[in-house]
Amino acid sequence: MTSPPSILAARADQALAELSPGYFALVMGTGILSIAVHEAGASRLALIPLGIAAVAYGVLVVLFVARWFRHGDRLRADARNPETAFAFFTIVAGTDVVAVGLHQHGWGTVATGLLALAAAIWLVLGYVLPWQVLMTRDGEPILARTNGSWFIWSVASQSLAVGLSGLHPATPRLADVLGVLTVMAWSVGIILYLGIAVLVILRVVHHGITPEQFEPTYWVSMGALAISVVAGAGIVDMTPVPMVDAARGLIGGTVVVFWCFAAWLMPLLAGAGLWRHVLHRVPLRYTPSLWSMVFPLGMFAVASMRLGRVEHLPMVEVVGVVFLGVALLAWALVAAGLAVTLARLARGTA
């Protein structure tokens, strides 16, 4: 039995108020599948997830703007909360992923515009959100609330590097500027990753972590390494300019290390998931944070395929193809969970 329109409207408004700051991870997870399928050689098939990602992007933009106007107090509270603030960087990464996908299919002008938008948002959020989190005190320790979503800050920076490395500037002067910006974005992403990793380790050592607290966003710790590999490989293949030439040796030598560490993290994260859901019986139900697990799986597939081709490592490329299948399965399961959740909301039973 369906609920009256007034009740449905109230439920929809409540859902808008509670909209997760990290919901653009849906765009990230879907868009990276498009890029991965394209990497695997099925360019036409890649248009399907790219189209879904683009539609989801448009819908989420509308929803986030609506939340800003209708529930601005809730949004600002999320931006000050250490457990949710850094999830806003999914906006940057989602924009970049869509831009890269569009660029692969020939929509270079639109992709460039999206990259410029993502860069502007990244620049603003990169200073505003940390200030909000670190300077706005609510009496609770910040370190105890550090979590996997903080790694999205690093992912956003690397996603910008991926997008910029694929551009083809018209003049040598623009190529120089692009080289500086791309290497800077990659370098900032690496430093952020190292700093956040230290904070997360300190949180676990000093405050511990319960099965309920080990959310899917911790998979971003692996995804951030994988996207660093993709961004680094892109920089190595860029047109020679002074900044790129200065960094090419360092970056080329580190991407293999990053890929190896990302691969090492995979069993650790999977085991922690079993510890959470099997040993401690935390219910496995749909939450927006599950998209933060889909993206790293897809990103690892792309990183493996690109690294395997660039460095002539056939085994690594095969790993990428296998993980493309894993990422597609994960996407299908999470998408099914979202569909069920939306259906329950429409029926008034959610």
Token pair listed for 152: 């999205």
Q: How much is the pLDDT for 1? A: 46
Is the confidence at residue 35, as pLDDT, over 80?
yes
Q: Is the pLDDT of residue 312 over 80?
A: yes
The predicted structure's pLDDT at residue 9: 75
Residue 71 is classified by DSSP as S
Asked if residue 93 lies in contact with residue 162, where contact means CB atoms within 8 angstroms, the answer is no
Residue 6: per-residue pLDDT: 67
Write the DSSP symbol of residue 206: H
Would you place residue 5 in the very low, low, confident or very high pLDDT band (cuts 50, 70, 90)?
low
| Residues present in the chain in total | 350
Question: What pLDDT does residue 350 have?
Answer: 55
Mean pLDDT of all residues in 117-131: 94
* Angle, CA 121 vertex, CA 224 and CA 22 arms, to 5°: 55
pTM of the predicted structure, to 2 decimals: 0.93
Which pLDDT tens digit goes with each residue over 257-287? 999 999 999 999 999 999 999 999 999 999 9
Q: What is the pLDDT of residue 227?
A: 97
How many domains does the chain divide into? 1
For position 311, what pLDDT does the model report?
82
Q: What is the pLDDT of residue 3?
A: 53
pLDDT for res 322: 96
- The proportion of the chain whose per-residue pLDDT surpasses 90, expressed as a percent, equals 79
Q: Which domain holds residue 172?
A: 5-347
Q: Which residues have CB under 8 Å from 150's CB, separation 6+?
A: 86, 196, 199, 200
What's the rounded mean pLDDT across residues 157-171? 92
Mean pLDDT, rounded, for 148-171:
94
Rounded-to-integer distance, Cα 43 and Cα 39, Å:
8
Across 158-172, average pLDDT: 91
Farthest-apart Cα atoms in the chain, separation: 67
User: Which of 92, 89, 69 lies closest to 79, judged by CA?
Assistant: 89
Residue of 167, 133, 170, 187 lying closest to 21 (CA atoms): 133
Place of tokens 């933009």: 61
- DSSP track, 127-190: HHHHHHHHH---SS-SGGG--GGGHHHHHHHHHHHHHHHT---SSHHHHHHHHHHHHHHHHHHH
**What's the whole-number mean pLDDT along residues 322-327?**
96
At residue 155, the pLDDT reads 97
Whole-number CA gyration radius for the chain: 20
CATH code assigned at 118: 1.50.10.150
Chain center to CA of 203: 22
Residues 82-104, mean pLDDT to the nearest whole number? 96
Please, which residues have CB within 8 angstroms of residue 271's CB and are 6 or more apart in sequence?
none
Q: What percent of the chain has pLDDT over 70?
A: 96
Q: Which has the minimum average pLDDT: 6-20, 235-249, 260-274, 319-333? A: 6-20
Helix (H, G, I), strand (E, B) or coil at 255: helix
Return the pLDDT at 348: 65
Residue 309 confidence class, pLDDT cut points 50, 70, 90: confident
Q: What is the pLDDT of the chain when averaged over all its residues?
A: 92
Least confident of 1-5, 30-34, 97-101, 155-159: 1-5
Residues 216-259 have pLDDT tens digits of 999 999 999 999 999 999 998 888 999 999 998 889 889 999 99
pLDDT for 170: 81
User: How many other C-beta atoms lie within 10 A of the C-beta of residue 332?
Assistant: 11
